Amino acid sequence: MTPVQDIYKRFLRQIGTDILSELEQEIAEEIMHGYLENALCEFDEWNEDLTIEDGYIVTDLTSSDKSLIADVMVLCWLQPKINTEEILKVAVTDGDYTKKSTASMLDKLLKLEEKMIKRVTRKKIKRSWKNKRLNE
């Protein structure tokens, strides 16, 4: 079994200071649980049982697997932030928007998202090849 806390810690190390760190622990864990559930949906091709029971994923995950899941959680965390920035961009005229720091924020978020997608893709490919070698 793998404590979900192990994955949460990896996730939090990646996002740094965020509103999550200012929330009550119970509320922050509820939000992270949502990110975790969304992230686990990305791994339906895995043979492992990724069911969450009593704060544990029922399978013993490797360090690489935990890292990969945390990376996908970061993508889940990024999406609402990007959506908010994009809505703000539409609400403000282009000239005004580019003068604001939010234009810079959207650019940074989109670059981070692109970086995380590449990282997740690379890790998924690496994992699939590792599993093929083990199964042959």
Burial class (CB within 10 angstroms; exposed 0-12, middle 13-18, buried 19+) of 79: middle
pLDDT above 90: percentage of residues in the chain = 32
Token look-up 């697997």 returns 65
- Residues 32-51: tens digit of each pLDDT: 999 999 999 888 877 788 98
Residue 56 has pLDDT above 90, yes or no: yes
User: In this structure, what token pair is assigned to residue 15?
Assistant: 């996002």
Phi, psi of 60, deg, nearest 5: -80, 110
Does the structure show a pLDDT above 70 at 133? Answer: no
Report residue 40: phi and psi, to 5°.
-65, -25
Structural domain spans, the chain: 2-127
- pLDDT tens digit string along 7-24? 999 998 888 867 777 788
pLDDT for res 125: 79
Give the pLDDT score at 70: 94
Residue 45 is given by DSSP the state T
Rg (the chain; Cα; Å): 17
Q: Residue 64 corresponds to which amino acid?
A: S
78-101 per-position pLDDT tens digit: 888 776 766 656 555 555 545 555
- Which residues fall within 8 angstroms of residue 131, CB to CB, at 6 or more apart? 47
Sequential DSSP letters for 59-83: S---HHHHHHHHHHHHHHHHHHHHH
Tell me, what amino acid is at 118?
Answer: K
